[in-house]
């Protein structure tokens, strides 16, 4: 069987991402604490290393979108220190739990390669995460159904000639298949997450 370079890269990225995701136990061993702030239309996660409140090693923010976009929360800010590989996917999993039962969607305007790899992984390799297609703001895909209409610039940027924008992982909204909050529960059981005002 002949494997193309594109397929090989996809397999390597998939394996790297699945092996690299930081588990709650690994986060605890690395001395990471998570602070969550939950406002009416904004949820923020701040990852701190050690006891110093200023030693921020990761942030993830999600903002509530208008009534359309399937009532999703949009990632608005994402940054993780390079010395804490695997923390990004852990933060995304936690954010899915925090905005539940609403779905979480990528930034509608711009998505980095690292973030796209996380969304690709959710779409293709996580049976515990389900996704729903979002239409664009021009209602091209589901004419007359406005609840899924959403800005699609980032999906368009990541589309290729062989892959239409609406088939990218970026053009979707994600949530847990069975509901529940397993990442939040695991972090809470370890005592490394704190809700602050």
For 3-50, the pLDDT digits (tens) are: 666 655 555 544 444 446 899 999 999 999 999 999 999 999 999 998
Tens digit of pLDDT for each residue in 61-107?
999 998 789 999 999 999 999 999 899 999 999 999 999 999 999 99
At 51, is the pLDDT very low, low, confident or very high (cuts 50, 70, 90)?
confident
Count up the domains in the chain and report the number. 1
Average pLDDT on 157-183 reads 91
User: Residue 44 falls within a domain, yes or no?
Assistant: yes
Whether 197 has a pLDDT exceeding 80, the answer reads: yes
User: Residue 6 falls within a domain, yes or no?
Assistant: no
Residues 116, 56 contacting (CB under 8 angstroms): no
pLDDT value of position 6: 61
Average pLDDT on 130-142 reads 94
pLDDT value of position 7: 58
At 2, is the pLDDT very low, low, confident or very high (cuts 50, 70, 90)?
low
User: Residue 2 falls within a domain, yes or no?
Assistant: no
User: Residue 4 falls within a domain, yes or no?
Assistant: no
As given in the structure block, the two tokens for residue 16 are 């790297």
pLDDT value of position 17: 45
Report which of residues 85 and 134 the model is more confident about: 134
User: Residue 1 falls within a domain, yes or no?
Assistant: no
Whether 188 has a pLDDT exceeding 60, the answer reads: yes
Tens digit of pLDDT for each residue in 108-126?
999 999 999 999 999 999 9
User: Residue 184 falls within a domain, yes or no?
Assistant: yes
Residues 68, 102 contacting (CB under 8 angstroms): no
Output the DSSP codes for 108-165.
Answer: SS---HHHHHHHHHHHHH-TTEEEEEPEETT--SSTT--TTEE--HHHHHH-BTTB-G
Whether 1 has a pLDDT exceeding 80, the answer reads: no
As given in the structure block, the two tokens for residue 190 are 């370890």
Task: Give the CATH number of the domain where residue 21 resides.
Answer: 3.40.630
Domain of 56 in residue numbering reads as 13-195
Partners of residue 64 on adjacent β-strands: 73
Q: What angle do CA 110, 95, 97 make, to 5 degrees?
A: 140
pTM metric for this prediction = 0.88
User: Residue 7 falls within a domain, yes or no?
Assistant: no
pLDDT value of position 53: 78
pLDDT value of position 18: 44
């Amino acid at each position: 069987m002949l494997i193309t370079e594109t397929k090989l890269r996809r397999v390597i990225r998939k394996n790297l991402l699945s092996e690299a995701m930081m588990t709650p136990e690994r986060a605890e061993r690395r001395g990471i604490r998570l602070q969550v702030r939950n406002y009416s239309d904004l949820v923020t996660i701040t990852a701190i290393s050690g006891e110093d409140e200023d030693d921020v090693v990761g942030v993830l923010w999600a903002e509530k979108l208008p009534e359309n976009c399937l009532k999703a929360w949009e990632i608005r800010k994402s940054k993780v220190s390079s010395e804490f590989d695997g923390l990004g996917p852990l933060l995304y999993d936690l954010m899915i739990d925090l905005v539940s039962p609403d779905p979480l969607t990528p930034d509608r305007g711009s998505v980095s390669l690292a973030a796209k790899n996380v969304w690709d992984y959710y779409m293709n390799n996580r049976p515990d995460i389900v996704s729903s297609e979002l239409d664009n703001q021009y209602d091209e895909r589901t004419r007359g159904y406005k609840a899924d209409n959403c800005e699609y610039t980032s999906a368009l940027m990541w589309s290729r000639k062989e892959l239409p924008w609406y088939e990218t992982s970026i053009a979707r909204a994600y949530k847990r298949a069975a509901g529940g909050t397993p990442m939040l529960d695991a972090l809470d059981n370890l005592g490394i997450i704190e809700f602050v005002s």
